Amino acid sequence: MSITTRNQAKLLAASRTPQMCNIPTNPQGKFLPVSQYYGENVFDFRLSKNLSQSEKNELQEIQEHKITLSEKLAKSYAHAVLEWALEKGATHFCHWFQPLTGSTAEKHDAFLSFEKNNPVEKLSASQLMQGEPDASSFPNGGSRSTFEARGYTSWDLTSPIFIKENENGRTLFIPTAFVSYHGEALDIKTPLLRSITKLSETASEFCRITGSSNVKRVNTTCGCEQEYFLIDKAFYHQRSDLVMTGRSLFGSLSAKNQQLEDHYFGSIPARVLSFMQEVEIELYRLGIPAKTRHNEVAPGQFEIAPIFEEANIAADHNQLVMTTIREVAIKHDFVAILHEKPFAGINGSGKHVNWSMSDDEGKNLLEPGTNPHENYRFLALVGVVCEALFRHADTIRMGIATHGNDHRLGANEAPPSIISVFLGETLTNIMESLISNAAYKPNGKIVLDLGANQLAQLLKDTTDRNRTSPFAFTGNKFEFRAVGSSAAVGWPVSILNAAIDDILGETNTLIKEYIASGKTIDESLIMIAQKWYKNARNVVFGGDGYSEEWVKEAKSRGLNNFRTMPEAIAVLKDESKTKFLTTSNVYHQSELKTRYNVLLERYITHRKIEFQVLSEMIRKNVLPSAIRYKQQLAQIILEQKEIGFESVVEKTYLKDLNILTENLYTSVNNLESALEAAKAAGHEKTAFKIAQEVMPLSVAAANLCNEIEDLVPESHWDLPTYFDMLFIR
């Protein structure tokens, strides 16, 4: 890589202009409102011309879990999907699934078939409902041998079938689960669906025994806020660390980064806004309800957030959001980076998962109402959530453990790795009043006096926000803020659902006992709220989660602080902590073992790649840049000596750079030796050695690289800097 290549990249990035995107228009050329093209690439059986009204009624009952799909209806449905897809110009279909890689997978099959040697387009009921991809090359955690290749994809009737377009064609995507030959879940979706079903059954019973006799189903709802970085692709391809690992393994911070807090909610750069608009158009056409867009805290960082949906659809849609962001970014000469910590020293990226439950009558079970202190069902559910987070905190923490999140959690920008619950002042006071049997006195609606008659009056919310809390109540939902930006949300949500279900199941039993003993429903709900909240008070925290004081206090409260992924995923080996996942049948014990092995292997592999790339960049980029500058300084010193000059400045620079270069050379050798020693330790020990011994060495090497970068002039530094990547666009 030459110096001129970096300069050319800077000029190219600085000269780029916003790109036009194809905004849908009517025949007269006027822009269409979103409502007129929303979901146009999603198959909606209710609008199909190839299904009878009775078939549509049956399908509606299937979606409401009242009946199962018959073979006859499956054939009709497959035909209707085929006709719609062909009308849209699709030539292929695929079963789209989420293996344990954390991303998605697809194998495209042509509709082309032959009948009596004549070419025809065909999609049979069996092709729609079941596929048989090769499962041998997907992560399986050692649960099967390489020669055991058979796996099955099974159509998920609850997630919409959709079409994806590219410049040269269209493909029909069928959302599916992915299981082994023996029926074990090899994917993210299957356990998520199990958890949704189980929680629906338990929560529906809770509703019925507490007065809502008509409730038959309770939906888990989610809204997944997605943070990401954009950098110009000219810089991206010059940084092998970004290409190979998703994050910069070293880099000196520019003098101005996010200290002035002027990027957050600031004016969106024109080129970025053009990209965002195209992302939204593509998402709307896929029936994904993108709602907000804005600059995030760090330079080069942005966010998109959707409207709430059922959890399974939200999980599928979030995968499509991430894919769409990446694909559209390339069209606009950006690269989107979804790693949790792509740039050290500035904010990383999370995926705040807003979680709630709603019944089939459309009522949000976590809506406090105008008088939350009198909404006893709501208060009981708050107690249930607190107890679930308290009792199963370690397993919930495990569900957000990734090598990327290790860099983000607790790094003064994201929640700490200690699981706690934030309820806000009002709700905390209500719950405290309950357990002390004291009367709660509401403050009433407080109007904020802004001191200017020109401004509208604002009603003060009953709770402030706490951005340091990993699990915060935010008005009518809980915001799971600790989930990483690259995560497949079905994994942590399935664990959260199972945790809530566990406590809610016990709650149902207790309420029945209370009522049988003569208590009213309201008295029973109050007793539940008191019981769970009193037991789980240690997990409720409303202070500064970033502070060292909280780390100490959390320890005294018995709350664990698993700082690294190997520590967190070790929970999967403790059956006493994961029993609630297996007794609920959300996971089988063998599936948890598979996931432990997969997560362990992925951690080790990701870190090995990072260390190897860091070593290569030090030897191929950093040290050569330093040596070139040392050579120039030495030449200047010799030349000035000949004419009688002392060269004090040059000698100081050369001395400092020489020390740093020698230290970096020693550091990279130590890093490579430590990695080899860790590899020989045995698989599980390897992961812990990497986290505890090798990672600190890589950080030390990165810091030396940063010091050298600060000394070496622009003309000698090959690699795009943080300034280049974060500010030139």
CA distances, 630 to each of 299, 398, 653, 710 (Å): 33, 48, 9, 14
pLDDT of residue 508: 98
Q: Decide if 152 is inside a domain.
A: yes
Side chain identity, residue 532: W
Q: CATH number, domain at 697?
A: 1.20.120.1560
CA distance 378 to 534: 16
What's the pTM?
0.93
Residue 505 lies in a domain: yes
627 and 550 in a common domain: no
Q: How many domains does the chain have?
A: 3
Indicate whether 336 belongs to any domain: yes
| 230 within domain boundaries | yes
What does the pLDDT read at residue 463?
A: 54
Backbone angles phi, psi at 400, to 5 degrees: -110, 10
Decide if 428 is inside a domain: no
Q: What is the C-alpha separation between 635 and 648, in angstroms, rounded?
A: 14
Please tell me whether residues 223 and 121 are part of one structural domain.
no
450 assigned to some structural domain? no
Same domain, 518 and 654: no
Pair (578, 696) in one structural domain: no
Q: Provide the domain limits for residue 561.
A: 196-414+488-526+543-588
DSSP E strand boundaries for 527-614? none
User: 228 with 275, same domain?
Assistant: yes
Give the per-residue pLDDT at 102. Answer: 87
Q: Do 218 and 341 fall into the same domain?
A: yes
Which residue type does 585 have?
N
How high is the pLDDT of residue 663?
Answer: 98
**Cα–Cα distance, 493 to 471 (Å, whole number):** 12
CA proximity to 157, closest of 115, 198, 193: 193
Does residue 442 belong to any structural domain of this protein?
Answer: no
Residue 148 lies in a domain: yes
3-state DSSP call for residue 543?
coil
Cβ atoms within 10 A of the Cβ of 644, count? 6
Q: In 10 A of CB 633, how many CB atoms?
A: 20
Q: What is the mean pLDDT of each run of 10 residues along the chain (729 residues)?
A: 75 91 88 94 94 92 83 94 96 95 92 92 92 69 57 91 93 94 91 97 97 93 96 96 97 83 83 96 97 92 95 97 97 97 93 95 90 88 98 98 92 78 91 84 56 47 64 93 96 98 98 97 95 97 88 95 96 97 96 96 96 98 96 93 89 95 98 94 91 97 97 93 93
Q: Which of 144, 164, 187 is the last residue of a domain?
A: 187
Say how far apart CA 50 and CA 370 lie, in whole Å: 47
Closest CA to 171 of 113, 106, 93: 93
For residues 616 and 560, state if they share a domain: no
Cβ pair 219, 311 in contact under 8 A? yes
Cα radius of gyration rounded to whole Å, the chain: 28
HEC sequence for 616-674:
HHHHHHHHHHHHHHHHHHHHHHHHHHHCCCCCHHHHHHHHHHHHHHHHHHHHHHHHHHH
SS3 category, 707: helix
C-alpha distances in Å from residue 685, one per residue of 306, 600, 688: 41, 10, 5
Same domain, 628 and 510: no
Same domain, 173 and 224: no
Dist CA 103 CA 13 (whole Å):
29
Residues 383 and 246 both lie in one domain: yes
Q: Which residue is it, tokens 């309820």? A: 423
Q: In this structure, are 300 and 183 located in the same domain?
A: no
Q: Which helix (H) or strand (E) covers residue 685, if one does?
A: helix 683-689
Amino acid occupying residue 75: K
- CATH code of 234's domain: 3.30.590.10
Which residue(s) pair with 152 in the sheet?
A: 179
Beta-bridged to residue 337, according to DSSP, are: 229
Q: Report the alpha-carbon distance of residue 126 to residue 139 in Å, rounded.
A: 26
